[in-house]
Structure 1
């Protein structure tokens, strides 16, 4: 058995904080929207949270939430292009579709 010193708790905390910081910075990296998504959020690169926020602003502005089921989004022409031609999508599916339109 090799003689290795166990990691100190402080070292583990530092390592986990730096990993969290890298993940957060990757999450906030501006991404370029596809042409279809740019019709909704604009062509400038944006961090993923801002894209989601702008899409929700668009959905609310155009009253595209199903009034009986607020988790369902009724797509207009612009959103259909982002949703792969689907007429509606759940709010959970929306993020999957958005990911396909961000580089």
Structure 2
């Protein structure tokens, strides 16, 4: 068996470095510093819990009051736009 031949992939240090959410984003994900990956995971948990994915187009997110503040006042954003808007609310 060649288990030693398998290379372990190292996570990108930039993604693993804890970031601090803004006050607005903290209402969704909490105030504790966490890696970007965890922030994204918590936002998705929030979206699923509150059924905010658009029924017709699952790539679109319908914002409630808290997410609308994070999304710069937009009522609906795409998944890709969402990650860009969230990064505006993160401090290294």
Partner of 1:56: 44
Question: C-alpha separation between the residues in 2 aligned to 1:90 and 1:26?
Answer: 24
Partner of 1:87: 75
Could you say which structure has the larger radius of gyration? 1
RMSD of aligned alpha carbons: 1.3
**Structure (1 or 2) with the greater strand fraction:** 2
TM-score for the superposition, normalised by structure 1 = 0.77
Aligned residues: 83
Question: C-alpha separation between the residues in 1 aligned to 2:42 and 2:15?
Answer: 16
Can you give the 5+ residue segments of structure 1 that lack an aligned partner in the other structure?
Answer: 1-19
Q: Structure 1: which 4+ aligned runs deviate by more than 3 Å?
A: none
TM-score for the superposition, normalised by structure 2 = 0.86
**Structure (1 or 2) with the greater helix fraction:** 1
Can you give the 5+ residue segments of structure 2 that lack an aligned partner in the other structure?
Answer: 1-8
Q: Which secondary structure state, in structure 1, belongs to the residue aligned with residue 61 of structure 2? A: strand
